[in-house]
Amino acid sequence: MRYKTKKNEMLREERLQYILQKLTQHQRVSSVELSQELKVSDDTVRRDLNELAEEGLLKKVHGGAIPSVPRAPAPLKMTERIAYAQHEKEEIARKATALFKDGQTIILDNGSTNMVIAQRLPTDLNAQIFTNSLAIAQILSEHPSVEVHLMGGWVYKRAQVTLGAGVMHTLEQLRPDFCIVGVCSIHHELGVTTPYWEEALLKQKMVEVSQKVIATAWRDKFDTADTCRVCPYEALDLLITSSAMTTEQLEPYHHKGVEIW
């Protein structure tokens, strides 16, 4: 009986993920079409949409659902992302470098902002850094005293990042002083999200194993949400952003137990 319940739960999660992915692609889903495509009853689709609506991941409308909040700009290739919002990333990196101390073990997640952080680390820093970013590993390989660990897996070429069981296995063995999570989208109610399920799983593990969780986000990332949840906003210990964010824009992010720089 336990096995059957577990199996049904897995199928439910697959349905929810399918609905969110379809919503991402088409910006609207039809209850009738979902019932046919998922081969489930209208009542089951209604319950699934209600659950996702209660979590704030979509908005129910007559005959289906639409996105509840804007999505972040479509992810660009890493070569295109590097030059985007460069001034904000430089400001965030200057703040973030204050976190790094000798003797620490750190996870530096994939992302163009984290690349800038890697470039700005003090040359006398003596620490070990784990990353699944090919670009960050390359940058840190030039650092005179940082010990670099590139977590192995299959390479998602568009983002220049490693994913899969190999990376997950390495993360399970770690208890780093902190991780800096790359952010695709951040929302004060919906948390940190990303468009890619496998990437979300790895980020979830980074958050789980780290003693302190830091997120970096520039202006366009705020008040957006995507299909795959990484963690609740309150799971963060520190959020680092730039002066481009106004006091009014940051107000919903205060008073939730997350320090903001």
Which token pair is 125?
Answer: 């820093």
Task: Tell me the pLDDT tens digit for each residue of 203-220.
Answer: 999 999 999 999 999 888
Q: Whose structure tokens read 């046919």?
A: 36
Question: Could you give the count of Cα atoms lying within 13 Å of 106 in the half-sphere of its Cβ?
Answer: 29
Q: Same domain for 24 and 59?
A: yes
Closest listed residue to residue 180, CA positions, set 105, 78, 126: 105
- Looking at the domain assignment, is residue 73 inside a domain? no
CA–CA distances in Å: residue 183 to residues 155, 191, 230, 231 = 19, 10, 9, 11
Q: Parallel, antiparallel, or unpaired: how do β-strands 178-182 and 105-108 relate?
A: parallel
Mean pLDDT, residues 79-98 taken together: 82
Number of domains in the chain: 2
Mean pLDDT, residues 64-91 taken together: 69
Domain carrying residue 40: 2-66
Q: Same domain for 137 and 163?
A: yes
- Looking at the domain assignment, is residue 172 inside a domain? yes
CATH code of residue 253 = 3.40.50.1360
pLDDT at 2 over 60: no
pLDDT at 70 over 80: no
Q: What is the DSSP code string of 154-167?
A: EEETTTTEEESHHH
Flag whether the pTM goes above 0.75.
Answer: no
- The reported pLDDT for the residue numbered 28 is 79
Which token pair is 193?
Answer: 């999200």
Backbone angles phi, psi at 102, to 5 degrees: -60, 145
Which token pair is 120?
Answer: 């700005």
pLDDT at 9 over 80: no
Q: Same domain for 96 and 207?
A: yes
CATH code of residue 41 = 1.10.10.10
3-class SS string, 158-223: CCCEEECHHHHHHHHCCCCCEEEEECCEEECCCEEEECCHHHHHHHHHHHHHCCCEEEECCHHHEC
